[in-house]
């Protein structure tokens, strides 16, 4: 199968830890992966397996956590 393009939007840090392995395997199989995360509270870095794009948020990580 040909690799496709995937957009990943993780919702919480612990969720990302398990998703990261899946994303890396998909990349190994030829998929182009972009991970989207808020600027605040996430410390994801672009790797060979995926690209990270951040977006600005007006809330602090604590405000976001209490909203969830």
How far is residue 30's CA from residue 28's CA, in Å, rounded to a whole number? 5
Task: Please choose, from the candidates 45, 36, 39, 35, the residue with its C-alpha nearest in 3D space to the C-alpha of residue 64.
Answer: 39
Give per-residue pLDDT as tens, 25-64: 999 999 999 998 887 766 777 889 999 898 887 877 788 7
How far is residue 23's CA from residue 10's CA, in Å, rounded to a whole number? 11
Q: What is the CA radius of gyration of the chain?
A: 13
**Structural domain boundaries of the chain?**
3-67
Give per-residue pLDDT as tens, 12-23: 666 777 888 899
How far is residue 67's CA from residue 51's CA, in Å, rounded to a whole number? 27
Tell if the pTM clears 0.75, that is, is over it: no
């Amino acid at each position: 199968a040909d690799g496709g393009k995937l957009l990943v939007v993780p919702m919480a840090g612990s969720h990302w830890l398990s998703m990261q392995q899946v994303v890396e395997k998909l990349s190994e199989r030829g998929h182009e992966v972009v991970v989207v995360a808020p600027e605040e509270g996430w410390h994801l870095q672009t790797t060979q397996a995926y690209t990270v794009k951040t977006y600005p948020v007006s809330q602090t990580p604590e405000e976001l956590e209490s909203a969830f």
